[in-house]
Structure 1
């Protein structure tokens, strides 16, 4: 049986980076507010563990996104399929990513997708044209993480 997994991305502002990637991938930001209310009510966590983002309670330093068609837990909001978790860390990004996402456009839609991602806060780094091997853009998300758009 295949293992379940999620990709964890270090960040300096997890909720904002989750918003960017949810819009970029057309995923949904997970809503843990019902779970947070239960944990607060039972005294398992204190208010210091919680922040409000876009009118919802979320865990301080964490945010996640999930594919809209994948199953998820109704109480916690946690996805049970394709998922990215963003976690705040004290240090900033210092070098090139060792792992990155590739986003694929519809045929003929590369420039439109790159432009849409720029509108969300991404920046173009450089264009790669390898002839028959492919044509893509290397880009950076709002926190400087590299990704490719083909």
Structure 2
């Protein structure tokens, strides 16, 4: 038995959050334009369910990113590897995340943190745990916590 997975993150603006995380991780925003065009032409998707952004057609309320080296289905644009799906939900984020992303870099920590801030992240707290390491707790543009080490 083979298991696959994707991380799903609730969001208020899925395309904007996908663009942030694609830039932060060096991932690609998925482009489901070909699939959407097929569904629209067949009458299986109403035009109101589609959003256009940066030359791509997206399913309204959903946007995903994938690792650029992982395989994907060219007919749908859906990644078959390391993938994060952002889905819009009506309620705002409340409290601390129960699950978060740790971003690791072989670069200098301060430079990585500053680059993420330029993309829209904010610093929350610096952590120094002796042999366990040194990292920053940050928030993405929608307030989701993540760590950078």
C-alpha offsets along residues 41-86 of structure 1, whole Å, 9 cap, x if unaligned? Answer: 0000010100111121110000000000000000100000000000
1:91 aligns with 2:96: no
> Helix, strand or coil for the counterpart of 1:132?
helix
Measured in 2, the distance between the counterparts of 1:130 and 1:81 equals 32
Give the count of matched residue pairs: 149
Measured in 2, the distance between the counterparts of 1:35 and 1:105 equals 34
Structure 1 gaps, min length 5: none
CA displacement at 1:132 relative to structure 2: 1.1
- Within-5 A mapping of 1:29-108: 29-106=29-106
Question: Which residue does the alignment assign to 2:141?
Answer: 142
Q: TM-score, normalised by structure 1?
A: 0.98
Measured in 2, the distance between the counterparts of 1:99 and 1:85 equals 14
CA displacement at 1:8 relative to structure 2: 0.2
> Helix, strand or coil for the counterpart of 2:52?
strand
C-alpha offsets along residues 11-52 of structure 1, whole Å, 9 cap, x if unaligned? Answer: 000000000000000000000001000000000001010011
Q: Following TM superposition, where does structure 1 have runs of at least 4 consecutive aligned residues deviating by more than 3 angstroms?
A: none
Q: TM-score, normalised by structure 2?
A: 0.98
1:22 aligns with 2:32: no
Over the residues paired in the alignment, what is the CA RMSD in angstroms? 0.7
